[in-house]
Amino acid sequence: MTRDIHGLHHTSILTRDLDGLAHAYLSFGFALSPRSRHRLSEGAGRDPVLTCTANRCALFGDSYIELLGIVDESAPDPWRARATADRYEGFQAVAFDTDDAGTSGRRLTAAGLPASDVVELERGAATRDGNRTLRARFVHLDPAATGEGRVGIAQHLTREYVHQPHFLDHPNGAHGLGGVLIVADDPVFAAVVDRYARILDTVPHRQGPLAALEMGSGRVDVVRASAAGELLPGEPVPAPSYLAAMTVRVEDVGVARGIVERNGTATRTTEDGFFVSARDACGAGLFFTAR
């Protein structure tokens, strides 16, 4: 466990059809938070403004899957979501959890990974005590330097408004994110592994075709594009390097698989669970495991 990064904060799947994306994940047995529109302030003392995106989330108590939709093409787009979606829709971003975004940003810069200034995010949160404002702080790595997707470090300021207990009971028994799988183009594989070793302040180790980077909770796995077929046979390849899949921890693999299949989605058996193709999960491969 590093001093400032504890594990995954969230993963993000980007779409222009938020309702369709939500329908798919509900059919996989996830409970989702209500739709919430983003507001962003790009500096201290500056008023937050509505952006072009809204989300719904599958929340697990310590991490979540964000279903991120472009819902107003004319609204401000500070994170260039429209340009990202034009490239391809799907699993586009990963954020790691910290208690201090400023400290993490300074460490990244010192490690040769220039990060943005801290930005402040707000969105509405409906609670059982009424509407509240969810607040968080982020730093982002330069997107030009992370060809596999957007990478950020996120700090909750109002965690209680995100991981509300009544959102954590999923029919499929999901209770956490176990990790993410990145496919790296062969010529940049070593550089991608080195980048995540510096982001997470950890040492990678080999596990079969993977370079595995452990965190306090969960891990990041990187595989060469030429070997990706061993783990992701027949899966779509949206870019030379890309965020390919995430692992969802569930209480009972059989229960979760039954829900997914009864709702019409095919699955593939894996060593410790099952897999849902990115073709069916809106651009994000889903490994389900009880580990």
Backbone angles phi, psi at 85, to 5 degrees: -65, -30
Closest CA to 68 of 87, 53, 88, 49: 53
Q: Are both 7-167 and 174-289 of the same fold?
A: yes
Run of H or E residues at 101: helix 101-110
Q: Give per-10-residue mean pLDDT for the chain (291 aa).
A: 82 98 98 89 67 95 96 90 95 96 94 90 81 90 94 94 93 97 98 97 94 94 97 97 98 98 98 97 97 77
Euclidean distance between CA atoms 139 and 40, whole angstroms: 13
Query: Residue 1 has what pLDDT?
Result: 42
CB 28 within 8 Å of CB 265:
yes
Query: Residue 43 has what pLDDT?
Result: 54
Instruction: Tell me the CATH number of domain 174-289, given options 3.40.50.300, 2.60.40.10, 3.10.180.10, 3.40.50.10860.
Output: 3.10.180.10
Euclidean distance between CA atoms 7 and 63, whole angstroms: 8
User: Which residue ranges make up each domain of the chain?
Assistant: 7-167, 174-289
Query: Residue 46 has what pLDDT?
Result: 65
pTM: 0.93
**Could you give the 3-state DSSP secondary structure of residue 199?**
helix
Q: Report the top-level CATH class of 7-167.
A: alpha beta
CB 18 within 8 Å of CB 71:
yes
